[in-house]
């Protein structure tokens, strides 16, 4: 199966045109969110100023879940099409998602210390988010050996997402219930707007990270091709391995998988 929009040339062209716009928009939204969350939003009558950590904690938690759902979808598409860029999406998503999950755990600990008296409790919500962090790390580890195994592992780990979402409803937990649901929100509009703005900036930041990593991989492969043409004697080992990897493909659908494995080994050799 062939996807015209996933051609490396189009990815490099579009990312070059719109990356600066995305960076500028991210800075603008983040500045607005910081101003509203610090100087406009009122203090909480129970938690005081400590509650302001929710402006980064809640969006980071949402991003950790949304990125995993997107990563699982990309893994399913990779298993169906064997297109290497879907595997690249999953790998980049695992790195970004792991960062957001770790940030969620850290900010949750600092928020819980004045409220619960400790940085960590084996609460259902906290434990399930910790499991999500380990799933991200496991996905990164499996991708070093087999893209197919990593994709299957990611799809299986999708079971943890509804557990995280409904853990505060299924068990008696210290973590507060969800303030935003399909029935409405209990958060005042002056607090909700900064949260949504920071969520938007996190979306943009994730897109920037993904663009940078994708461009780096494509440029690395292009650099290898140029080096091979200029000085083929110094790249014989890499060329032979890469050609052998491609020749092992028995069908057009499988060829993308072998090219991806060759690229992974090639980047390690570099």
Query: Does a structural domain hold residue 42?
Result: yes
Query: Does a structural domain hold residue 228?
Result: yes
Q: pTM value?
A: 0.75
Distance from C-alpha of 173 to C-alpha of 18, rounded to nearest angstrom: 44
Q: Which domain holds residue 99?
A: 4-172+187-269
In the DSSP assignment, the letter for residue 40 is I
Query: Does a structural domain hold residue 127?
Result: yes
Distance from C-alpha of 128 to C-alpha of 60, rounded to nearest angstrom: 15
pLDDT for position 118 = 80
Query: Does a structural domain hold residue 150?
Result: yes
Strand partners, 101: none
Q: Which residues contact 244 (CB under 8 A, 6 or more apart)?
A: none
Distance from C-alpha of 180 to C-alpha of 95, rounded to nearest angstrom: 27
Query: Does a structural domain hold residue 227?
Result: yes
Query: Does a structural domain hold residue 179?
Result: no
pLDDT for position 76 = 92
Q: Is the dihedral of CA 247, 252, 256, 257 positive or negative?
A: negative
Query: Does a structural domain hold residue 59?
Result: yes
Query: Does a structural domain hold residue 152?
Result: yes
- Count of domains observed in the chain: 1
User: Secondary structure of 61-118 in the HEC alphabet?
Assistant: HHHHHHHHHHHHHHHHHHHHHCCHHHHHHHHHHHHHHHHHHHHHHHHHHHHHHHHHCC
pLDDT for position 184 = 58
Distance, CA of 256 to chain centre = 23
Distance from C-alpha of 34 to C-alpha of 195, rounded to nearest angstrom: 10
Query: Per-residue confidence of the chain (270 residues) as pLDDT tens digits?
Result: 445 555 666 667 777 777 788 888 999 999 999 998 888 888 777 777 777 888 899 999 999 999 999 999 999 998 888 877 788 888 888 999 999 999 999 998 888 788 777 888 888 888 899 999 999 999 999 988 888 899 999 999 999 999 988 887 777 776 776 666 555 566 778 788 889 999 999 999 998 888 887 777 777 665 544 444 445 554 454 444 444 444 444 444 444 454 455 555 544 544
């Amino acid at each position: 199966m062939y996807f015209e929009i996933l051609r490396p040339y189009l990815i490099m062209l579009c990312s070059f045109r719109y990356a600066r716009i995305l960076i500028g928009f991210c800075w603008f939204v983040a500045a607005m969110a910081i101003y509203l969350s610090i100087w406009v939003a009122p203090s909480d009558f129970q938690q005081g100023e400590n509650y302001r950590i929710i402006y980064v904690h809640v969006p980071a938690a949402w991003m950790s879940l949304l990125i995993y759902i997107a990563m699982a979808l990309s893994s399913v598409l990779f298993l169906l099409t064997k297109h290497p860029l879907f595997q690249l999406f999953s790998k980049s998503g695992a790195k970004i998602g792991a960062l957001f999950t770790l940030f969620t755990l850290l900010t949750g600990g600092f928020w819980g210390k004045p409220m619960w008296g400790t940085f960590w409790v084996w609460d259902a919500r906290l434990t399930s988010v910790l499991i999500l962090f380990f799933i991200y790390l496991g996905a990164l580890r499996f991708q070093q050996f087999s893209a197919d195994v990593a994709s299957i592992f990611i799809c299986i780990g999708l079971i943890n997402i509804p557990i995280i979402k409904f853990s505060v409803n299924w068990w008696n937990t210290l973590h507060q219930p969800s303030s935003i649901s399909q029935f409405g929100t209990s958060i005042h509009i002056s607090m909700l707007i900064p949260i949504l703005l920071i969520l938007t900036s996190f979306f943009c930041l994730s897109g920037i990270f993904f663009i940078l990593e994708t461009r780096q991989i494509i440029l690395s492969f292009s650099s290898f091709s140029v080096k091979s043409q200029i000085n083929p004697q110094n790249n014989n080992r890499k060329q032979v391995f890469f050609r052998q990897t491609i020749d092992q493909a028995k069908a057009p659908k499988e060829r993308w998988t072998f090219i991806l494995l060759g690229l992974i080994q090639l980047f390690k050799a570099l």
